[in-house]
């Protein structure tokens, strides 16, 4: 089943996803950067999640929160596997998976990741969108970006075609908040981001979604569940894979990637007020 998103990026699956990269790995239990694991944690499956809201972040109480964090907690429970979750910058997550410091992670599906980890299954499809101000013209193809100032989140992957284009100016953004303020200030023309991340940024900053417009779609990338090839817990891979298949068969993945509180607000954010590419057109597919 394919899940499409439109209400909040982040973020994400996935592009995955925004650029709120933290400076250090944050442990779910100790919140400290450590080069080695305690003996108790070595017995647990080490699950790392990208430090990009709404995918993974620390709440005001210092607890791990986010779409992927909550999803992985449920998946580990279903698989009856003890898991220890940590939050880290996306590049650090990939590096940790490469070395086996992280056993499992949800990452954007790519050939480079496949060299480091074994794909257990596709979790969701993640949409990358172009967002502008309400009076901006719709963008039908990447050719329409020629000459425009395009805000992109640092270290994010937007698909091969977008990343290889050099006929428009790419403005690096440290975070989605940074990008939204630059867009409002007309210092950039377009923001490109995973839609969960951009919508979450609007919500967290208290911005009215009607002050923006989705101009078009860049790409749809897949977020996959991976287990490190260097992991000492590879036997857990089949249990995770079966648990994922069970959740997908029961349509329970949707609870996290469509109906999560960090995706569609409790107040019922209506994407039809945002643009014709909004949630009403995709979550039912």
Q: Is residue 116 located within the same domain as residue 144?
A: no
3-state secondary structure of 72: helix
Q: Is residue 225 located within the same domain as residue 122?
A: yes
Cβ contact 70:279 at 8 Å = no
Range of the domain at 188: 128-219
Cβ contact 177:52 at 8 Å = no
Q: Is residue 241 located within the same domain as residue 206?
A: no
Q: What is the number of domains present in the chain?
A: 2
3-state secondary structure of 105: strand
Q: Which pLDDT does position 259 carry in this prediction?
A: 66
- Specify if 10 maps to a domain: no
Q: Which pLDDT does position 7 carry in this prediction?
A: 36
Whole-angstrom distance, CA of residue 196 vs CA of residue 53: 9
Per-residue pLDDT tens listing for the chain (285 residues): 434 333 333 333 333 344 433 333 333 333 333 444 444 456 799 999 998 888 998 888 889 999 999 999 999 999 999 999 999 988 899 999 999 999 999 998 988 899 999 999 999 988 899 999 999 999 999 999 999 999 998 877 787 889 899 999 999 998 899 999 999 999 999 999 988 888 889 888 999 888 899 999 998 888 999 999 999 998 899 999 999 999 999 999 888 877 666 654 434 334 423 433 333 233 333
Q: Is residue 34 located within the same domain as residue 114?
A: yes
Cβ contact 75:247 at 8 Å = yes
Residue 261: which CATH number?
3.40.190.10
Q: Is residue 63 located within the same domain as residue 88?
A: yes
- Specify if 241 maps to a domain: yes
Q: Which pLDDT does position 262 carry in this prediction?
A: 60
Structure tokens at 18: 């925004």
* Residue 160 φ/ψ region, left for φ over 0, alpha for ψ in the -120 to 50 degree band, beta for the rest: alpha
Q: Which pLDDT does position 260 carry in this prediction?
A: 66
């Amino acid at each position: 089943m394919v899940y499409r998103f439109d209400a909040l990026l982040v973020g994400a699956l996935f592009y995955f996803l925004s650029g709120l990269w933290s400076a250090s790995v944050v442990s779910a239990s100790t919140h400290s950067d450590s080069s080695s694991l305690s003996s108790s944690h070595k017995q647990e499956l080490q699950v790392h999640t990208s430090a990009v809201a709404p995918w993974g972040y620390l709440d005001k109480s210092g607890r791990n929160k986010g779409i992927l964090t909550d999803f992985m907690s449920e998946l580990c429970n279903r698989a009856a596997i003890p898991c220890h979750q940590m939050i880290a910058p996306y590049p650090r997550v990939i590096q940790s998976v490469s070395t086996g410091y992280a056993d499992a992670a949800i990452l954007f599906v790519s050939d480079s990741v496949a060299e480091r980890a074994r794909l257990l299954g596709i979790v969701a499809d993640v949409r990358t969108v172009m967002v502008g101000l309400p009076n901006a013209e719709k963008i039908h193809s990447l050719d329409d970006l020629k000459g425009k100032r395009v805000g992109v989140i640092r270290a994010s992957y937007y698909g091969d075609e977008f990343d290889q284009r050099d006929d428009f100016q790419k403005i690096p953004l440290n975070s989605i908040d940074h990008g939204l303020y630059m867009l409002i200030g007309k210092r950039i023309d377009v923001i490109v981001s995973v839609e969960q991340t951009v919508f979450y940024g609007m919500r967290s900053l208290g911005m009215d979604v009607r002050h923006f417009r989705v101009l078009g779609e860049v790409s749809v990338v897949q977020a996959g569940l991976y287990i490190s090839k260097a992991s000492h817990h590879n036997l857990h891979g089949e249990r995770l894979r079966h648990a994922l298949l069970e959740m997908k068969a029961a349509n329970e993945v949707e609870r996290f990637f469509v109906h999560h509180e960090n995706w569609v607000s409790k107040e019922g954010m209506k994407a039809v007020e945002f643009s014709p590419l909004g949630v009403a057109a995709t979550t039912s597919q």
